[in-house]
Structure 1
Amino acid sequence: MTETLTLLPHALPHCPNARLALFAIRRMGAHGLADARAAHAMFTAFGQGFRRPLVLMRAMMTDLATHAAGTIAIAPCCCSRMTPAESALLAVLARVETAPDSARLLMADLLGIRRVEATLMSAAAVSAAFADEGRPVCC
């Protein structure tokens, strides 16, 4: 039990939109950008407007993988807790519009690099796509 709390110290978010984003991040991170379950979850949540959030989530995941100096730890979809990296990424999605300096610092810590503008813009686009469809990510 102690080992689980050390590796997965954060509880899942209460916000259903953050849970949806986390599910898509976990599925795409583990099974690739074209994961059918991630696409189905986005379609189910967003209906006809699913394409924009899905494509932008794929772009953000590509940017994260491309720019990260090291590995970004993600847990399997069945886990009822989050890694520090997952928690930070959801916090970035929640804060990128309202607290950009905080989001920038979190992204820099997550990626292990100083220049995070491109990845931060991807996260801002995902956050805006969720919000525009009536599903803002909050933590």
Structure 2
Amino acid sequence: MNHTPAPSPAPAQRPSALASSLPNAMPEDPNARLLLFAFRRLGAHGLNDAHTAHALLQAFGGGFRRPLLLLRAMMADLAHTATCPIAIAPCCCMRMTGAEATMLTIVARAETAPDSARLLLGDLIGVRQPDGVLASVTALAQAFADAGRPIVA
């Protein structure tokens, strides 16, 4: 009997490769999941992504414009200021990159622990004084909280 071994999996299919690139589980908090979805969509498809606008309309109702505008401003600030790439996973992925988990932590801490959020943000985007970006992150966190959807990471 001729017995040939099964082909080895491609590098992207190896569990260790996947685990190292997506080390974090999705957040339990539905508000954090919403923000993660919107962050991924805008990061991958641009600031005028219709799916993001629709998701925020569904979540916030008629008050969706403020969180959407502030999310777009935060994304533009991140893109303009960051000196290193911020890894994002596809929208359908059920795990998070380290950068995504850090970003959710920054948003969650922006109002309650701004010094911690500032340090994490500076490390994430590779700048010593991320105060301008932190201001837009804080405004976004306030918009979610004001609408009854605070981010808990």
Q: TM-score, normalised by structure 2?
A: 0.90
Correspondent of 1:31 among 13, 28, 45: 45
Superposition misfits of 4+ residues, deviation over 6 angstroms: none
Aligned partner letter, 1:7: S
In structure 2, the gaps of 5 or more residues are: 1-14
Aligned partner letter, 2:29: C
Instruction: State the shift of 1:24 in Å.
Output: 0.4
Aligned partner letter, 2:74: M
Verify: 1:16 aligned to 2:30, yes or no: yes
Correspondent of 2:127 among 84, 109, 113: 113
Q: Root-mean-square deviation (CA), in Å?
A: 0.5
What is aligned with 2:66? 52
Rounded Cα–Cα distance in structure 2 between residues aligned with 1:111 and 1:54: 22
What is aligned with 1:88? 102
Q: Percent identity?
A: 59
Aligned partner letter, 2:119: L
Aligned partner letter, 2:121: M
Aligned partner letter, 1:8: L
What is aligned with 1:64? 78
Aligned partner letter, 2:115: D
State the Cα deviation string for residues 49-101 of structure 1 (Å, max 9, x = none).
00000000000000000000011110000111001110010000000111111
In structure 1, the gaps of 5 or more residues are: none
State the Cα deviation string for residues 12-31 of structure 1 (Å, max 9, x = none).
10000000000000000000
Verify: 1:78 aligned to 2:92, yes or no: yes
